[in-house]
Structure 1
Amino acid sequence: MITDQNILDKYNRFSSWVKHSNELISTIGHVELTQKDIFALASLQLCQEHARAVLMLVKGGLIASALTLLRPQLDALLRGWWLYAAIDDETFQRDHLDKQDFPSGNKKGMINSILNALNSSDRKIFENHLVEAQDFYNDFSHGGFEQLARRLRKNGVVSYTDTNSEIYECLASSMLYDGLSKTVTCRIFNNSDLHIKLQELGKKYSTKIGSSK
């Protein structure tokens, strides 16, 4: 149960953002898409599902698990954005991209290819937040040190200790990734009107939305 008022306010804004932004995304009609765009949308949709899961975990007090989800949520966003911005349709068709072609361990290579394809506004978001988050998230989802350090007490007691600022940042980061994934979705569908509505919604609920192009 969330008791801190700042966290509760952030949780409610995030929850309302997800609800209303998903309603907007659902208004997109049938559009002919390339195979590359379909792959990109699949990854972006996964990012958005992780956002809903973070909300459920935080509400249930499972903060460690919510923090663990930030890494795969970010990965899903990066892969979807990589397919959209850094791979053209001809390359996708010619090379028949499959599992081994999707960057996994080489995150820096994927991030660099995205950065080279982004406009200045989007690049700033990546450079200020997403790139720096990679190593920190790794310790939550893979290396485990950050998770262990929060559970081991000097008196030998094993229990998870979180802070209000940590919970707040978890919600804020997941909300940012969800918003950016929906920005890229608008670009894939070439729907500037929908993007404007998402921007207005983002201002209402205090989250960043990337530019329309």
Structure 2
Amino acid sequence: MQASDAALLGKQGPGGVKASLALSSLQLAQEHTQGIFLLLQRGVQSSAIALLRPQIEAAARGAWIWHCAPDDWCVKYAETGDDGRAFRKDSLLNGLCAVGPRFLNFQKIYNTVIKHFHDYTHGGHLQVMARVGMNGAIGYPQNNQTLFFCAVMARFTDFFAKQETASALGDDVLVRHLGEIAVKHHLFDMQNQVRE
């Protein structure tokens, strides 16, 4: 992650409400990535998993604002915080997928995170039942497959948010450079994700 973070450091957006909202949301998704990996490194597994949903929602919102939101909607949202139901899952994903096929993978990841990890965001049944088997012992009962999945989803969403940030910055060279970094660092290779 450090190489892709360094590639974005110091970049400035084009200005305006739309760009500011989009870039802020995409930056929030990237901050959640840092939180996920810091929590995983410290063994705070359930809290790391709970950040997957806010991370992917921030990335989806940032991309939707940049590619789909009308300027007048952006002004109203900035002033009132009322999204007019634009941030509902179907509105977000349908809008992004209408932009182009590159959003189809993101749609699959988004749906997977919501389906399998929504419950973790609010300390629901999955987290509670995982602890029941521990006979009341304090600990972090997530299995390695769940943690691997968390890392892969977080890493993918971070890469998506960074590429969308570069897109919002209007920097096609940076978009390609980030793609090269993802290939070099094996985006879906768990060993590299943990090492970075």
Bin the TM-score by the shorter chain.
0.7 to 0.9
Question: What amino acid is the match of 2:83?
Answer: D
Cα distance in structure 2, aligned partners of 1:61 and 1:115: 36
Query: In 2 relative to 1, CA 74–104 (structure 1 residues): closer, same or farther, beyond 3 Å?
Result: farther
Q: Number of matched residues?
A: 186
Cα distance in structure 2, aligned partners of 1:194 and 1:89: 25
Query: In 2 relative to 1, CA 60–104 (structure 1 residues): closer, same or farther, beyond 3 Å?
Result: farther
Residues 1-213 of structure 1 correspond to what in structure 2 (within 5 A)? 18-28=1-11, 30-93=12-75, 96-97=76-77, 98-101=80-83, 103=85, 106-117=88-99, 119-123=100-104, 125-142=105-122, 144-153=124-133, 155=135, 157=137, 159-207=139-187
Query: In 2 relative to 1, CA 91–104 (structure 1 residues): closer, same or farther, beyond 3 Å?
Result: closer
Matched-pair identity in %:
25
- Give the match's secondary structure for 1:151: helix
What is the CA-CA distance between 1:100 and the residue it aligns to? 1.8
Corresponding residue for 1:5? none
- Give the match's secondary structure for 1:80: helix
Equivalent pair of 1:111/1:131 in contact (CA under 8 Å): no
Q: Deviations over 1:13-71 (max 9, x none)?
A: xxxxx21111110153x453221111010010000011111111011011111001111
Q: Deviations over 1:52-97 (max 9, x none)?
A: 111110110111110011111111111101101211335434xx22
Equivalent pair of 2:113/2:153 in contact (CA under 8 Å): no
What is the CA-CA distance between 1:138 and the residue it aligns to? 1.5
Corresponding residue for 2:191? none
Q: Deviations over 1:108-140 (max 9, x none)?
A: 2222222222x11222x1333212321322111
Query: In 2 relative to 1, CA 141–44 (structure 1 residues): closer, same or farther, beyond 3 Å?
Result: same
Equivalent pair of 1:150/1:159 in contact (CA under 8 Å): no
Question: What amino acid is the match of 1:65?
Answer: S
Equivalent pair of 2:21/2:74 in contact (CA under 8 Å): no
Q: TM-score, normalised by structure 1?
A: 0.79
Q: Which runs of 5+ in 1 are unaligned?
A: 1-17, 209-213
Query: In 2 relative to 1, CA 154–172 (structure 1 residues): closer, same or farther, beyond 3 Å?
Result: closer
What is the CA-CA distance between 1:158 and the residue it aligns to? 5.7
The Cα RMSD (Å) is: 2.2
Question: What amino acid is the match of 2:68?
Answer: A
Cα distance in structure 1, aligned partners of 2:109 and 2:163: 17
Cα distance in structure 2, aligned partners of 1:194 and 1:105: 28
Query: In 2 relative to 1, CA 102–57 (structure 1 residues): closer, same or farther, beyond 3 Å?
Result: farther
Cα distance in structure 2, aligned partners of 1:102 and 1:161: 39
